[in-house]
Amino acid sequence: MALTRRGFVKWTCAGAGAALLPSCQGPAVAGRHLAAAETPAASGPADGKPNFIIIYMDDMGYGDVGPFGSKKNRTPNLERMAAEGTRLTSFYAAPLCTASRTTLMTGCYAKRCSMPSVLFPVSPVGLSRREKIIPELLKPQGYATMCVGKWHLGDQPEFLPTRRGFDHYLGLPYSNDMGPAEKPPGPKAAAKKAENANPAPKRPPLPLLRDEKVVQEVAPRDQDRLVEIYTDEALKFIRANKDRPFFLYLAHTAVHNPYHPGDAFKGKSFNGVYGDWVEEADWSAGKVLDAVRELGLAERTLVIFASDNGATKTGDNTPLRGFKGSTWEGGLREPVIAWWPGRVPAGRACDEITSTMDVLPTLVGLAGGQVPADRAIDGRDIRPLLFGEPGAKSPHEAFYYFAGGTGPLEAVRSGSWKYRLKPETALYHLDKDIGETTDVAAANPEVVKRMQELIDKMDKDLGVTGSGPGVREHDTAAKPRPLTLSGEMPVVD
């Protein structure tokens, strides 16, 4: 069983040495995960379609959790998940929020969908209705669908989750730092604001939506309960749909700045308020996994734990270089765990190149659906890798690192090689130099030549600097309005 909220904070570091499971090896005994509970007999939909749960963190770093080497944060539930599942150690997302969620939902590079790195409140921009996203492709297969948490693909009504294949939604439509300032400005800031002839647009209060209706304007103190609220909603959805196939997208606000751990976790970690929130997120993951086990759904449920991008300097991307917003490995290489008892091998690591873009074709294939054939989809079905098939390799010839969402191409990876175009050209061998410290271009001219050929290939598709012929348009709302209880923009001093 996962620790309770109170039990978690009493958990100590006794025997808490990190036990990283060796790459490409089978089951191993981890030093910190909880003892496995007995799994009830499988139940669920008669047609055998699997359930899908994506737990998507916000700004959690590669080295922020125990299965990926954290010595700062206690994450026993994720360690158990990794011991019972597979760690994907070369799994890529995107450097920033909106771009990352675009890649996950569409199976495409954000640039292909013309989605920027970050959307702000009342933006007219949103993900195009012409893009078919995961829930829209699962609904015809009989799936119940729900989005809980951060959306960030457009906050106008036509862009919200319930217009994009989700039966229900509860959450914030964008980041938790996009409401009014948490602290009033000091005298100097106020004077500067008064002198500014073009002040920044006023921000509406953070709106908590249920489906398409604002049910609460979230004050800073209210954010302390977001993980608990989201977790409770996720558990209700799982229980209500235990007898039919379902897709749950649990996109946490945690651990994005400002940090708001719940009361039961405040001051309980050894890593400050950030560690408190990481540990609450681990508690939440444990509650979700426990519900799946207790309902007898474990053998027909794929759970994927991931993060949208790398951590800021507050978090930990060790052993990777760089932080959120960059195209160094620390900006978009994520701590990812896949869990499906009896299907995904336990206690294993896979270092083949995989991506958020692979989630859509993989889930749709497992559900018996079809990926759209009338447009380019960058993701690939990675079932052979997830299921540990002998000799399975990455389906990607290359992975491309675009700045933000629609920005220029800054790097490309193929196999173990990563070639950077900016800030200057450089070649790294990631198997030998995961921290990107030593440029080996001069010693490997043939590799550089091959990487340049891959860059030229992408230039003819999405473009290296500008937009290529493979780029599709986003949608634009005609008259964007703020999401508030009243529907009107409030006065914000």
Q: Which residues have a catalytic role annotated?
A: 97, 152
Do 107 and 377 contact (CB within 8 A), yes or no?
A: yes
Sign for the pseudo-dihedral over CA of 227, 232, 233, 237:
positive
Cα dist from 140 to 28, 46, 64, 159, 367, whole Å: 39, 17, 37, 20, 10
Task: Give the β-pairing of 86-92 and 348-350.
Answer: parallel
Cα dist from 308 to 1, 333, 450, whole Å: 27, 9, 30
CA angle 249, 92, 162 (to 5 degrees): 25
At 144, which helix (H) or strand (E)? strand 144-149
**Alpha helices (H) in 38-141, listed in sequence order:** 76-84, 97-106, 134-138
* CA–CA dist 411, 403 (Å, integer): 9
* CA–CA dist 276, 74 (Å, integer): 9
Q: Tokens 């054939």 sit at which residue? A: 373
Task: Collapse the DSSP code of 359 into the 3-class scheme (helix H, G, I; strand E, B; otherwise coil) and give the result.
Answer: helix
Task: Give the β-pairing of 86-92 and 333-339.
Answer: antiparallel
- Token pair, residue 407, equals 């920005």
Cα dist from 147 to 6, 217, 237, 421, whole Å: 27, 19, 10, 37
Q: At what angle do helices 272-294 and 76-84 cross, to 10 degrees?
A: 50
* CA–CA dist 358, 382 (Å, integer): 7
Q: How many CA atoms lie within 13 A of 3 on its CB side?
A: 24
Residue 156 one-letter amino acid: Q
Q: Tokens 């995960």 sit at which residue? A: 33
